[in-house]
A and B are shown apart, each in its own frame.
Chain A
Amino acid sequence: MTVPSRLLSSSVDEDVQRWLKAGVDWRPASGERERIWQAIAGEAGKVAVALAVAEVARESTQVAASAGNAATSGLLGAARAASVGAGSTKLALVVVALKAVGVGLGIGAGLLVGGHAVSSHHIERPAATAPTPATTAARLVEESAKVNAQIRTSGSAQAEREDSVPQESNPATIPSSASIRVSSEATGTSRASEPSTTAHPLHNPAPLTAAEEAQQLEQRTATQTLLSTAPSMHHDAVRQESRLVSMVRSALRQGRAASALETLSELDQRYPSGQLGEERAVLRIEAAVLGGQSGEASRLAERFVERYPTSLNLDHIREVARVSRRSKQ
């Protein structure tokens, strides 16, 4: 077989040489390079964000339903508290009612918004941006202390005005008699016979509200953190998944089926619905064949054909399955 030489280096027609040279020397117009790069950089960013948003939206669908329910509960609770407060002319009750409405609405709205981005299995909260459990807890304790102090102040001031009983020590130990008096005066009905723990919102609201608020604040904080960091974290997750898939490929090339299967298991744990599902399925079949698990390989191949009927890898998978069957026989 003779190796042909290029026309440009042989003695062909001068015109042909000139035309070919024009092809070799052709360069895009100056200035195009940077303009095209700007467009590429912009588009590449959009693609990454779109992928991240789509993934986050998909994976938060299940969470959105429960978040919606929680929001409804929050609003109902707020409405109940507001109805109690509305009948009262007392400052303490109004403060509590408003606080309850605020908390209810805030949590409801927060959870509704958060429903679109609440945690997926592989979105990891980066330490740099997410509050640590310790800081979150400290902030929640501080917030609940403020709530308690406000309730205590208003509650005790009111009580002092009513019957001159000091209430500074602990809002949870406000004498039920005072509470009952306030409540009955506010509603115009006697509740002396009702248990004090349920008769008055001031009697035992602070610990409950603080606990609820703590939980809800934590949820809201987590949601906001995820909203602000989900795209970049998702991008990292895809990159990490891709790296692990590359490791699997490398292991398979080196004939290390066990290592490949181990990495694939890790992938399943970390990214159960990752972006490279089809690629991972192919690699799993190859790893099974390499590891001598012919039956498993055939089963996986059948599942692959069902799951990815239009895959470009179908021929490859069928070939792998055929080889696997032959080696089994």
Chain B
Amino acid sequence: MTSDTTNLRSLYDAEFPFVCRTLFQLGVPEADIPDAVQEVFLVVSRRLAEFEYRAKLRTWLYRICAFVARGRRRLAHVRRESPYDDLDCDERLSMEPSDPSDLTVLNSLLGQLNSEQREVFVLFEIEGWSGPELAEILECPLPTVYSRLRLARTAFFAAVDRLKAREQHLMRKVQL
């Protein structure tokens, strides 16, 4: 095993969870995560020799993840249709409320944010990055970061409200 491969393996072992989580939270479907992770680390393998640690490693990795996630979102074949798309509104509402996992709910809520909002929300609220770190990674001023975060939270809670309203409506229909 060459030293490059060894370096890549160490990096892979250390950052695999971060890369998976980031891709997932940036909207890559769970089924596509392995392919996307592979794509990210292939980019890393090609660029690792040029990486000079001027930026933080995770910042660099995040940018690659964001690039890969954007690319995958653009791919037509990964735009899967929901099995509920063919049902009209009443049919959907008449279905038994399923018990989706918390992760599915979170993903659904994040899906209602635009990409800029989703990015800043995920990094701040879930990954725990600070404002200045976000300013560096997103290459924008700190006030812009906080502004985006505020808008992202507003959009997120609006999505939460819609979800809860829908649940209540479904519960009422089931009780009737």
Taking beta carbons and an 8 Å cutoff, which residues of A are in contact with B? Answer: 1, 3-4, 6-8, 13, 15-16, 18-24, 26-28, 32-33, 35-37, 39-41, 43-44, 47, 239, 242-243, 245-246, 249
- Interface: B146 (CB within 8 A): yes
- Interface: B67 (CB within 8 A): no
Chain A residues with CB under 8 Å of B13's CB are 33
Contact indicator per residue, chain B 32-49, by CB within 8 Å of chain A (1) or not (0): 011001100110011001
Give chain B nearest CB distance to A10 CB in angstroms: 10
Closest residue on chain A to residue B126 by CB atoms? A23
Closest residue on chain A to residue B4 by CB atoms? A239
- Interface: B21 (CB within 8 A): yes
Chain A residues with CB under 8 Å of B131's CB are 3-4
Alpha-carbon distance between A43 and B42 when the two chains are bound, in angstroms: 7
- Interface: B138 (CB within 8 A): no
Select B34's contact among A1, A4, A32, beta carbons within 8 Å.
Answer: A32
> Do B45 and A242 touch (CB < 8 A)?
no
Alpha-carbon distance between A19 and B126 when the two chains are bound, in angstroms: 10
- Interface: B82 (CB within 8 A): no
Select A22's contact among B33, B103, B153, beta carbons within 8 Å.
Answer: B103
Give chain A nearest CB distance to B53 CB in angstroms: 11
Whether A44 touches B45, Cβ cut-off 8 Å, given contacts A4-B146, A20-B125, A36-B38, is yes
Chain A residues with CB under 8 Å of B142's CB are 1
Chain A residues with CB under 8 Å of B38's CB are 36, 39-40, 43
Alpha-carbon distance between A27 and B17 when the two chains are bound, in angstroms: 6
Give chain B nearest CB distance to A256 CB in angstroms: 16
Chain B residues with CB under 8 Å of A18's CB are 102
Q: By CB atoms of chain A within 10 A, which of B49, B109, B128, B142 has the most?
A: B49
Whether A28 touches B33, Cβ cut-off 8 Å, given contacts A1-B146, A37-B12, is yes
- Interface: B143 (CB within 8 A): yes
Select A41's contact among B5, B34, B153, B164, beta carbons within 8 Å.
Answer: B5
Chain A residues with CB under 8 Å of B20's CB are 26-28, 32
Alpha-carbon distance between A43 and B41 when the two chains are bound, in angstroms: 10
**Size of interface on B: residues with Cβ below 8 Å to A:** 44
Which label, helix, strand, loop or mixed, suits the secondary structure of the B interface? helix
Closest residue on chain A to residue B50 by CB atoms? A242
What are 18 inter-chain pairs, A to B, with CB distance below 8 A? Answer: A1-B146, A15-B164, A16-B157, A22-B105, A24-B128, A26-B21, A28-B20, A28-B37, A32-B20, A32-B33, A33-B16, A36-B37, A37-B12, A40-B41, A43-B38, A47-B45, A239-B49, A245-B50
Give chain A nearest CB distance to B52 CB in angstroms: 6
Give chain A nearest CB distance to B154 CB in angstroms: 12
Closest residue on chain A to residue B122 by CB atoms? A23
Give chain B nearest CB distance to A76 CB in angstroms: 46
Chain B residues with CB under 8 Å of A23's CB are 21, 25, 103, 106, 122, 126
Chain A residues with CB under 8 Å of B41's CB are 36, 40, 44
Give chain A nearest CB distance to B50 CB in angstroms: 6
Give chain A nearest CB distance to B10 CB in angstroms: 12
Closest residue on chain A to residue B106 by CB atoms? A19
- Interface: B9 (CB within 8 A): yes
Chain B residues with CB under 8 Å of A22's CB are 101-103, 105-106
Chain B residues with CB under 8 Å of A41's CB are 5, 9
Nearest 5 A/B pairs, CB to CB: A22-B102, A19-B106, A28-B20, A23-B126, A44-B45
> Do B125 and A6 touch (CB < 8 A)?
yes
Give chain B nearest CB distance to A280 CB in angstroms: 13
